[in-house]
Structure 1
């Protein structure tokens, strides 16, 4: 059974900031970034049990872009909640708590 992917308001805000930044460079990068995000969502919906990063938080890295998605799994409702889209150079102390 596939899981439903839900993107939190905080993660949406992160993604919006990222796309705004890339849009200042070129729209093609934005399109590639969004395609890669969609691919990560597909992977998570099928196989969400990636490594645990902190407590119940898990993460999946994007393939090309230097970001990871921080998420939690709700097994009961078969949902994945994306909590943050996090740049890999940022301190892990800034992970969602």
Structure 2
């Protein structure tokens, strides 16, 4: 199978959400924040290779994490071979406040 090698661009909102989640989990148990971050990084690698997950709204695709109740929200530019990560949201947040607007 050919590897597409998409370039990942994590926007500032998503970076902040990743840091906040890792900090939250680290406050709950030493090392848990690092585990959250490492899981996100493994999905980062997945998106580099095969970013064509389900479209939820408009052109925004979503990819839920397995170990933590968070979902990655992103778009794919096939021509530029780029993935733009807009948000990494908690599945417990109100969806009306986390909806990504393009």
Give the TM-score band, short-chain normalised: over 0.9
Deviation at 1:91, TM superposition (A): 2.5
Deviation at 1:74, TM superposition (A): 1.3
TM-score, scaled to structure 2? 0.89
Q: Does 1:96 align with 2:74?
A: no
1:14-93 paired onto structure 2 within 5 Å: 14-93=17-96
Deviation at 1:92, TM superposition (A): 2.2
Q: Once superposed, which parts of structure 1, at least 4 consecutive aligned residues long, lie more than 6 Å away?
A: none
Q: How many residues align?
A: 97
Gapped regions of structure 2 (runs ≥ 5): none
Q: Within 2, Cα distance between the matches of 1:14 and 1:27? A: 19
Please provide the CA RMSD for this pair: 1.0
Gapped regions of structure 1 (runs ≥ 5): none
Give the match's secondary structure for 2:67.
coil
